[in-house]
Every structure is written in C-alpha cells, then in structure tokens.
Amino acid sequence: MRTQVAIIGAGPAGLLLGQLLYEAGIDNIIFEQRSPDYVLGRIRAGVLEQVTVDLLAQAKADKRMLAEGLPHDGIELLFGGKRHRIDLHELTGGKRVMVYGQTEVTRDLMEARKRAGLLTVYEAQNVTPLEFGSERPRVRYEKDGQQHEISCDFIAGCDGFHGVCRASIPADSIRNYEKVYPFGWLGILADVPPVSHELIYAHTERGFALCSQRSATRSRYYLQVPLTDKVENWSDEAFWDELRLRLDPEARANLVTGASLEKSIAPLRSFVSEPMRFGRMFLAGDAAHIVPPTGAKGLNLAASDVGYLSRAFAEFYQQRSSEGIDRYSEVSLRRVWKAERFSWWMTSLMHRFPDSGDFDRKVQEAELDYLVHSRAGATSLAENYVGLPLN
C-alpha cells in the first residue's frame, strides 16, 4: 500500500493535518496506537485562538464549534483578593478567543475524516517510521498480529511528547531545550455552571487556580499542587474546599460544586526539540514541543504547526516547489519560541514557587499590579493570549 503523507498519531495535530491535506487534494493515512474512545477520553485544552478557529474552518470541521463554542472577549486576573479584567477584544483591536474543548475539536475532526472516507488505522502496534533520510520513507506497523508496511512521500510525526517519531531521530541530529516546573495542575471536570462567565486566572498565597468552562453547564477547574500529590488522595470535597480558599468572596459565593466527571494531575514542562524536520519526516505539535498550560497554547501550537506543514505540502504537490518544506522548521520554530516565552512568563507570574522568597513574591505582585494598570502591559498580555498571527 502507498500514500502521499503517512501521519503518525490521531490527536488534534494528526487529525487536523489529515483534513487540511484532504482539502488540498493530498492523500493521507493516519496510524494511531490507541482506540478512538481512548483518544476522546483525554480531557485537555479548552481555549482556541482565532488562527486555530480559521484552520478548523479550512478543514471544514467548524460547524459545531461555531454553534456551540463560547466566544470570550476577556479574561480575569485574580490577585490580592480582587479580580481585574483584561479586555482582550478592546486591547487587540477586535480579536477574541473561542472556548471549546479539545475533546470536541477531536470529535469534529474524526467525524470530518469519516465523512471524507479517509483511512485511520486505530490500535496500530509498534508503529515505526523507516528510511525517512531517503526519498522513499515507509511506515511499518502491526495490527491484529500481522505486520504491514506503507510506502509514502513524507511522514508527519504527530504522535505527541512520548511518541516514536522524535525518538527515532539520531541523537546527534537533534537538540532539546527543557525546563521542568516544581509543581503540577490538578484538574477537575464537573457538570456544574461556571463560577463566572469569563476565565479566572488566580494568583494566591495558597498557589495558582484556574476557573475555566466547557459550556453553561459544564466547568473545568485547576489547582496548582505539589508534584508529590497523588490524584487518589484528592477527594472531590477536598478539591472544592481548596478552590474556594483560592477565590475572591464573590466567586466563592457563586461556586457551585458537584461530582467530578474526570480528575487528573498534569506535570508542567517547557520543551522544544530542534529542528522539526529530518529528511522526509516532519514533527508537529507535542511531538516537537511542550508548553506549560498557563498560556493555553499547547493545542493552538499543534494547530499552527500543521497549518504551516499543510501549506508546505500543498506547495510541493501543486507547484513542485520544495521551498515551504525546506523552511517549515525555521518558520514553525519562530512561532513556537514566542509561545514558549509567553507560557513560561505566565507560569512564572501566576504560580507560587516553593523556593521563592519574600522578595520574589513582592516582584510578582508588582508585575501583576503593573499589568492591570498599564495599557502597554495589558496589551502585551492580550496580544499573546489571543495568539500571534501566522507568519
């Protein structure tokens, strides 16, 4: 069997790439090690930049998002016991973000792929990219005890942080940059109305908290917790009690609690692997980089990577030009590093660091105070939060 682009991984990066290529007339097959239900069971990101919304429109997978997603014009920063609104819409000349869960984005892309009749091999075992240094790469995998091989023109490594693609690259051809943070996020999903109609990012003496949402009746909340904490030791009651302590009096009074639908702890990490291309294999999304979630950039970066990559493949097939694929790594990394900077900065600003002293905390508070009282400061935050334009 043969295809033009073999995509490894059916997360948002792989699925969106598949639809963008299909719309450009480029044949592709996706290989995914898990089942569709497993992929849909992962509760992750919730905020989409306009760039991501536009790419979902280009992929013809935006209908439900436009009907059910929640456009947000602002966010709130809570510190010193008070909330301060950042007016994203006004500060960026009319831009906003869309609150719509990663699970729903994934479901919509899966549906679009099904409608287009494109092949996704789920529960593929031992997926291996082969010969990507040559003109004739292949992908080998096992399914139901049988080994198969597909030849292709290109391999797209969309297989996340723990995937096989980056791990297959010789160590002397790759450079990794990493920062690990000394805390994690405990997240909870519950069918209760959100505490406020906009997202609240809270900096408190007890640590960071985030109030997010999925709909008028479903909320997503996060608490900064020590890395040593185990999710089994956090009852729903304990979560709500701790969240209450990190909110302002009005939000505390508005908080509606209920049984959790999902509860998990995610470690926080900044990571970039350079370059993002090795011969005929291209890395995209979490396979190439990780951001701490404070800036809401992980899913959006996965989308912009595959936006660049699909454009590069379209140039290759339609205009016989290699310029786009030759520049992919450099162009993507410029955007990646700006999102890395913003995510690191938001994380440093909003969290309580175990080793920071009184001086560091005073500087954090001064910066927050500056941000909400300076148009220049607030504009910089807003411009990055809604997302920088594609180059």
Give contact residues for ligand FAD (rule: CB under 6 A): 8-14, 31-34, 39, 44-45, 102, 127, 158-160, 163-164, 266, 285-287, 293, 296-299, 302
Coil vs helix vs strand at 31 = strand
C-beta of residue 30 within 8 angstroms of C-beta of residue 9: yes
Q: Which is nearer to ligand DHB, 21 or 43 (CB)?
A: 43
Strand pairing of 199-204 and 207-215? antiparallel
Q: Rule CB under 6 A: say whether 293 interacts with ligand DHB.
A: yes
Tell me the one-letter amino acid at 359.
F
Does 296 participate in binding ligand DHB (rule CB under 6 A)? yes
Strands 199-204 and 74-79, bridge-based pairing = parallel
- Our answer to whether residue 194 is catalytic in this structure is no
Query: How many angstroms separate the CA atoms of 59 and 78, rounded?
Result: 37
Q: Residue 258 CB, nearest distance to ligand FAD (Å)?
A: 20
Q: Is 277 in the site for ligand DHB (CB under 6 A)?
A: no
Q: Please report, for residues 51, 129, 148, 166, 334, the alpha-carbon distance to residue 139 in angstroms, rounded to integers and kept in the order given.
A: 31, 5, 8, 14, 29
Closest to 184 in 3D by CA, of 91, 94, 293: 293
Considering the complex, what minimum distance in angstroms separates the CB of residue 45 from ligand DHB?
5
Asked whether position 212 contacts ligand DHB by CB under 6 A, the answer is yes
- For ligand FAD, give the closer residue by CB, 248 or 286: 286
150 binds, among ligand DHB, ligand FAD, none (CB under 5 to 8 A by kind): none
The yes-or-no answer on residue 38 being catalytic is: no
**DSSP-assigned letter for residue 258:** -
* Number of alpha carbons in the 13 Å side-chain half-sphere of residue 361: 14
- Contact (CB, 8 A) for 234 and 188: no
In the list 46, 69, 307, 387, the residue contacting ligand DHB (rule: CB under 6 A) is 46
Give me 132's structure tokens.
Answer: 């990507």
* Catalytic annotation present for 22: no
Q: Which does 86 bind (CB under 5 to 8 A by kind): ligand FAD, ligand DHB, none?
A: none
With 0-12 / 13-18 / 19 or more C-beta atoms within 10 angstroms meaning exposed / middle / buried, residue 334 is exposed
Closer Cβ to ligand FAD, 144 or 358, answer by number: 144
The smaller minimum CB distance to ligand DHB, of residues 280 and 289, is found at 289
Which of 95, 203, 289, 297 is flagged as catalytic? 297
69 binds ligand DHB (CB under 6 A): no
Residue 116 in 3-state DSSP?
A: helix
CB closest to ligand DHB, residue no: 46
For 37, counting Cβ atoms within 10 Å of its Cβ (0-12 exposed, 13-18 middle, 19+ buried), the class is: exposed
220 counts as binding ligand DHB under rule CB under 6 A: yes
- Site for ligand DHB (CB under 6 A): which residue of 6, 26, 29, 45? 45
For this structure, is 222 an active site residue?
no
Nearer to ligand DHB, 47 or 164 (CB): 47
Calculate Rg over the CA atoms of the chain: 21
Catalytic site residue from 22, 141, 201, 221:
201
Q: Is 114 a catalytic residue?
A: no
Q: Which residues are catalytic?
A: 72, 201, 293, 297, 385
Interface residues with ligand DHB (CB under 6 A) are: 45-47, 199, 210, 212, 220, 293-294, 296
